[in-house]
Chains A and B, each alone.
Chain A
Amino acid sequence: MTRSLAYAGVSYRYPGSDAGIFDIDLEIAEGELVAVIGASGSGKTTLLKLLAGFARPDRGTIRINGEDVTGQMPEARRLGVVFQSYALFPHMSALDNVAYPLKVRGIARAERRRQAADALARVGLAERSGHQPAMLSGGQQQRVALARALVFRPHGLLLDEPLSALDPGLRVEMRDEILRVQRDAGIATLLVTHDQEEALSIADRVCVMRQGRLIQVATPHQLYDQPADAEVAAFVGQSNLWPGTVAAAGRVATAIGDIPCDTAGHAPGAAVTVLVRPERVLPVGEAGAAPGVFAGRVVSDRFLGPVRRIDLAVGDGVVRLETHSQETVAAVRIPPAAVRLLPRETAPTGGRT
């Protein structure tokens, strides 16, 4: 038996609209944390709803540990869900909230209170067990919700924008807490978020959704270094994206000039989008006439604390770079290894919802 959460050819369209998710194939292995990112309306929450059982797919099957659960009600699926608003029962104490999934499974009162207290202790809330949810801070409510979703040893953990309701400062802390608890439980986890940084920092794999489809499923490193297309590149982190044409083997022509790079897989004359991450662009003092070195004029120079973000006008384009250097920047070098060639987008199909 494979222990995993799996979508096989799953499609779901919201009644009376074009929105939904289409042809989803995805498997989350035991212990793996898969994050789904995408703009609002891209279908990432729908993905979670179908797995949780709040909606039934029009086509395809959903499997939990190999068993087809497509027709099962949410209460039969044994999945821990943390809601965006936490959905802690307001009329129950933190302990009773965590004990509730054990109560409905008929576990004796003393035993379920012991297990619930244990689960609360694991998220560092032992001394708050008697509090009502309204008396807990956002971060504490989040921990209770996490404990409640895991206390009954579910087959999978589903997190719907779990950090969006928290203060930015607390977000990083809770992010690490979620990862720790998830690793501790060794449980297959689906994290839905609009925050790409959150996804990159804790996920084993990241799925990018657009218009109800999975555009790319990759490790955070792959996603950042080899995005499937310009739109994914722009969504994940900062980027320079220039339309270009392969001029010859090892050289691509763009608005800023010819950039030396690896053009393997692209015939000369092919239209491409050139991706260079700003932190890979190196400032140089003197503008030598070497290939890959570009002189320009600074049009914007912003100090962001850890880095400076500079826009340099070069030729008919702009090179954006991030640097620690305090020196004046008059030219930059773009190392061939920093360049990625992406397929040139035909104009993105409209009607995004």
Chain B
Amino acid sequence: MSRLGFMWANLFRRPVRTWLTLVSVMIAFLLFVLLRTVSHSFSEGGGFGEPGIDRLMVSPKYSIIDPLPISALQQIAGVDGVLAVTHGDWFGGVYQDRANFFPKYPVKPIPHFEMYSEYLIDPQHLEAFANTRTGAVAPLAMAVKYGWKVGDKIPIEGDIWAKKDGSRNWEFDLVGTYAAPEDQQQPGVFLLNYAYFDEARDFGEGTVGWFTVRIADTERAAEIANAIDALFTNSLNPTRTMTEAEQARQFMQQIGDIELMMTGILAAVFFTILLLTGNTMAQALRERVPELAVLKTIGFSDGAVAALVLGEALLLCAVGALLGTALAIGAAVVIGPGMEEAMGVFEVSGSTAASALGLSALLGLVVGAVPSFTAQRLSIVDALRKQ
């Protein structure tokens, strides 16, 4: 029997109580690791890549579900300093199963790839995309993932958009693939031909979700954005224009709020665990006062007995944390592929696992501190007399 074995045996003096505590600690750490992983995936940019420094985004001022008229494109193009304008929209839709989530944008093929020149597409695929009404292109990684090849028909069930005949069954011809920049973790966007989409949809014809603008001089970004918004200030469709970098910054701000929320949830969970585990340890100590006195009698020093009690708290928290982290890693393996579309790579990082173990040590120290101190100060004679 080692000291570790002795601590382990002591922990299971009341097996049901210990198991219940262990499961609580394990669930707390499962939550901790999963939420940290979600937060980490978002903060890594969610795979959205580096925003273009010479691009502006023109969105509806009040809500992303308000459409903008496509006629605004010409007005924006006429603003001094604007080099090019294109547009996009949110298609939504489900491919086979809701778990297969990936963004789908109706775009104008050639202007889109001119605007986003960091995305590489074979000229023949681009030409096919531009010339095929029902054409669509997918990022290579997405095509590989779903086993698509050029020439396949990709069925999408519209959840926002129905067709003029009332059907929600959209079918697109995969005419090509494109490559995303290497630093982009997110698999990218399934692009479909705007002309077909606009013609076939049952409402909203002639509108878009947003415009993307390339400008000549990044120093004038704010001035040009103001000029664009000024065009539509008193219209039915006021706009809000900002650089892609600013949009990314605002997105990150929202993630910051999510992180704050997660931190709040975890703080509440761990406070509860602290009370629960602390109570377990305190109860265990009360039940063992004579035994601890016997340990001291047979030669365990005050420090050795204190270390034993503290070690039990640390062991309980460490085992709970290890089980919780292992479960979270397993869960990430299972649910990760489904999450990657939304937030890029979803896997438990080494730093998250390490922080879980660090937190378990802290929890063990806090939980074990008082019982350990009490055990250290325990008087042998008094404890034996109370038997």
A and B together in one complex: no
